[in-house]
Chain A
Amino acid sequence: MSLHSGIPATIEADVRHGERLEWWTLLWIGSVVVVMALVMGASQAMKSAVIEDLLSLIPAIVFLLSVHWERKQANGRFPFGYRRANSLAFLVAATALLSVGGFLVYESVTTLVRQEHPTVGGITLFGHTIWLGWLMMAALVYSVIPPLVLGRIKQPVARRISDKVLHTDALMQKADWQTGLAAIAGITGIGLGWWWADATAASFIALSIIKDAIGALQQAVAELLDGTPRALDSNGIADDAKALIAALKARFGDVEVRLRETGRYIAAEIDCAPPAAVPTGTELLGDKAWRLASLSFRPE
């Protein structure tokens, strides 16, 4: 690892864990898309679920790309390295999440306004014609399990490596399993003759997805505008950023301290003359010392 490139040894194992989880995500969600496409028939609800699952692959893909770029060495053209690729990936992932929510709202509202009655007919398998809804529900149950498991495993890893892309992907997985459950309720509703059930269930879930996505977008924009580092799961200031500001003020007095975030790393700027002994990252941030990428002093 050099000053502006590479991944610190402290979190290398966790980052690799995150990468493995994202490859598993691509594999599992890819298989879910195939299974759903096989049973979707003419159902608009199932088509929406397949499109939503395809969109949900975006955060996993951009996470893998951003980590790949993060490892690249700084050079003459990019002297500060490629660590901001993570910030860009975060913006893309948050936009993908918002697209999923927006798409679901559009589909649900148009279905309700047009009063479209979803058709789920029969399918003949091994000489027996059964209701396609049963197969759809089986496929949806399958579609719920991988995101439920993977999303829960990703959250603590995302916290340890302060990775907002991985955290947004965990939110996407939450969106996946929730829409899967909503779709099961919706297909059951269709079976009961309640044509509005599917769209109504989806619209409630979509509103929750949009709320998560707007929160993630606010954080992504704050990061790109050099805002003070935000927490993983809210637009509030991150705890380690607050701790760093407090530690710097305790050491250098009541001076102006500015923090900004490049990907998972923090750069600090202090309005005072450089001290004789510059504090180490461990002194200022303890276990999260790797987060502090640079400390600059600006004499008056």
Chain B
Amino acid sequence: MRYRFVLPIMATLLVGCDGLPRDAAGTTERIERTHAMRVTVLPGTPDARPALAMLDAYARNHGARVTLVPIHGEHAHKALEDGKIDVLIGHFAKASPWQADIALSKPVARGEPDDKARPVLRIARRNGENELILATDRLVAERAR
């Protein structure tokens, strides 16, 4: 049985399952530590208010405040990927070319359009920051209800 190591590893992992998932780069922990959630709103997003309100509520729950970071649209996605900002608000299609590079939420304050290529208001998060992603997914779902 060459794979007897799998079970002990899984048992060890399951012991630490409480509070899953966590962020790969510790964004949630950093927001709590610095009391600041860095948010960029992409230019051409006049309807960003509901997404901002949602993130504001999230930040307050974590003892932080939303800090708007002005970044030129062309550099915003890279800034998110590099962890220079925590969240990006903008219009993205479901079949966005950025889909693999950043984690897009479901549409904010509206249903998913039939046309997958139609950009709508979404919150983009850094890939792997699964605690923040799940928390914001929950807020978007609550808002949809």
Contact = CB atoms under 8 A, between A and B. Distances in A.
Given A118-B128, A119-B128, A185 B20 contact: no
Majority secondary structure, A binding face: mixed
Q: Residue among B127, B130, B133 with the most chain A CB within 10 A?
A: B130
A67 B25 CA distance: 53
Interface of A: 42, 116-122, 124, 127, 129, 131, 133, 178, 181-182, 184-185, 188-195, 205, 208
Contacts of B22: 191-193
A194 B24 contact: yes
24 contacts: A116-B127, A117-B128, A119-B103, A119-B130, A120-B130, A121-B134, A122-B134, A122-B141, A124-B137, A131-B20, A131-B21, A184-B10, A185-B13, A188-B10, A188-B14, A188-B17, A189-B13, A191-B21, A191-B130, A193-B21, A194-B24, A195-B24, A195-B128, A205-B3
B6 to A, nearest CB: 5
B128 A181 contact: no
A184 B129 CA distance: 19
Contacts, number: 95
A117 B127 contact: yes
A119 B127 CA distance: 5
Contacts of B105: 121
Contacts of A116: 127-128
Contact of A185 (B6, B125, B127, B145): B6
Interface string B118-145: 0000000111111101100110011001
Q: Residue among B9, B129, B142 with the most chain A CB within 10 A?
A: B9
A133 B99 contact: no
Interface in B28-74: none
